[in-house]
Amino acid sequence: MNTPAQASHDDSYASEHDHKKCVSEALGTAEHLCVVRGVQLTPIRHQVLELIWENHKAVKAYELLDRLKPQMDAAKPATIYRALDFLIEQGLIHRVESLNAFVGCRCSAHQHEQLLLICNNCQEVEERSAPEVMQALSQEIKQADFIVHSKALEIHGICVKCAQTMAGEQH
Amino acid sequence: MNTPAQASHDDSYASEHDHKKCVSEALGTAEHLCVVRGVQLTPIRHQVLELIWENHKAVKAYELLDRLKPQMDAAKPATIYRALDFLIEQGLIHRVESLNAFVGCRCSAHQHEQLLLICNNCQEVEERSAPEVMQALSQEIKQADFIVHSKALEIHGICVKCAQTMAGEQH
DNA sequence: AGTTAAGTGTTATATTATAACATTCGTCTT
DNA sequence: AAGACGAATGTTATAATATAACACTTAACT
Ligand SMILES: [Zn+2]
Ligand SMILES: [Zn+2]
Ligand SMILES: [Zn+2]
Ligand SMILES: [Zn+2]
């Protein structure tokens, strides 16, 4: 009937925020946008989006496949990749190029290209719209006479929570 | 539909600049840096670096392998990946995350993290140090309390030469 | 009914990357 | 000289990521 064990375990981010709200907002926005756009958020696509939103970590396609199989025995790589293609096209998830992985997008309704801060320790991804960076980038690209199709702006490192945890453990 | 209308000769960039100079500078710098650092630019590593520098396009690992085989029949995937790992560690090449490909670095001796402008038409990659972008990025990352390990800043689109070619062909 | 387009099922394969262990070779030690 | 070592490479196998190709279903439209 429901899924009680969602935000209770090792999810560090979830321990500090109301992740159910993240999920319901993301799914609600996705459903709304798909209706408005006249595209189909089919059961498979919806399930994959939910799986991606289990947490804020970047997740691999084959890990999603493993997570989907219990609910859908017929799931194959194409099942996942087709759903991912759709979700990316609709701007509902980000592909994290430097990890070959995927993460839910919190800004589906607005501009989609964001700066991604990717923690090498916990795999969580923080999106930032970083307007000053984007402004400087526009200038730079204009100077280069380059016609932009898409941007991948990915920073790897240690997020603030992991940094605190590590500091507390003092090596 | 329209045909892709690629640049007819393989080396559009080279037709407009002295590419031999690019190569000799890149190899010279690499040799020098490796001596200074006390690391070995072995024959295999040197050959792979030369192959990467055949042009300014992002090149795939298995394409390099194919190019290496005539010179080195024993070449296997590990041969290439080990050489690439070394060249990346030494900052002599960039890994283009969004293409799973590699390109020579023109700034080996200086800072290595650059903005990459990647042409979807000709695959050439332009590096730009983009100081204003980097400055804004530092600010943004600082605000996020994030500890940076590495950056992947990749813009896809159409380079100025391809744009001109396309415009000349009047679509 | 016939046609079409989107979505999915299914099988197979292509592409990218790493693991694991053996061998070679130069250098340092004894 | 013999042995030990570490770096690089040789070699085999496999893991991980992604796409191609074609069949089938469904719903909408003609
Ligand atoms: Zn959340
Ligand atoms: Zn973290
Ligand atoms: Zn050149
Ligand atoms: Zn181009």
CATH architecture of the region B4-170: Orthogonal Bundle (1.10)
- DSSP-derived secondary structure letter, A70: G
Can you tell me the distance from the alpha carbon of B168 to that of B171, in angstroms, rounded to the nearest whole number? 9
Q: What pLDDT, in 10s, does the model give residues A24-77?
A: 999 999 999 999 999 999 999 999 999 999 999 999 999 999 999 999 999 999
Could you identify the residue whose CA is nearest to the C1' atom of nucleotide D16? A62
Question: How much distance in Å is there from the Cα of A167 to the middle of ligand 1?
Answer: 24
- Rounded to an integer, what distance in angstroms lies between the CA atom of residue A119 and that of residue A36? 34
Distance from residue A133 (CA) to nucleotide D20 (C1'), in Å? 39
Q: What percent of chain A has pLDDT over 70?
A: 90
Helix H or strand E segment including B36: helix B19-37
**Confidence grade of residue A120 (pLDDT, cut at 50, 70, 90):** very high
Between the CA of B120 and the centroid of ligand 4 the distance, in Å, is 7
Q: Around Cβ B148, how many Cβ atoms within 10 Å?
A: 16
CA–CA–CA angle A103, A33, A17 (5° rounding): 45
The pTM of this model reads: 0.91
Mean of the pLDDT values across residues A93-106? Answer: 97
Do residues B88 and B48 make contact, with C-beta atoms less than 8 angstroms apart?
no
Cβ A166 to strand C below 7 Å: no
| Residue A157 at interface with chain B, using a CB cutoff of 8 Å | yes
A148 touches chain B (CB under 8 A): yes
> Which amino acid is it at A163?
A
Distance B128 CA to D24 C1' (A): 51
Name the residue among A32, A98, A152 with its Cα closest to residue B100.
A98
- Strand D at less than 7 A from CB of B144: no
Q: CA B127, CA B113: separation in Å to the nearest integer?
A: 9
Average pLDDT over residues A88-108: 96
Over residues A16-32, the pLDDT tens digits come to 799 999 999 999 999 99
pLDDT (tens digit per residue) in B112-163:
789 999 999 999 999 999 999 999 999 999 999 999 999 999 999 999 999 9
Contact: B157, A148; criterion CB under 8 Å:
yes
What separation in Å is there between the alpha carbon of B49 and the centre of ligand 3? Answer: 14
Quick one: tokens of A152? 């991948």
Closest CA to B155 of B55, B12, B58: B58
Note the pLDDT tens digit of each residue in B69-87: 999 999 999 999 999 999 9
CB B79 under 7 Å to nucleic chain D: yes
Instruction: Give dist(CA A64, CA A75) in Å, integer.
Output: 10
**Interface contact B1, partner A, CB < 8 A:** no
Instruction: State the pLDDT at residue B169.
Output: 75
The residues whose Cβ lies within 5 A of ligand 2, an ion, are: A 119, 121-122, 159, 162
**A122 appears as a binding residue in the annotation:** yes
Q: Does A22 belong to an annotated binding site?
A: no
Establish whether the CB of A74 is closer than 7 Å to any nucleic acid atom in strand C. yes
Whether residue A2 lies within 8 A of chain B, CB to CB, comes out as: no
The string of pLDDT tens digits covering residues B9-35 is 455 554 679 999 999 999 999 999 999
B84 or A5, which is more confident? B84
- For chain A, give the mean pLDDT: 91
Q: Mean per-residue pLDDT for A97-125?
A: 93
Instruction: For A126, name the nearest residue in chain B, comparing CA atoms only.
Output: B144
CA-based max dimension of chain A = 57
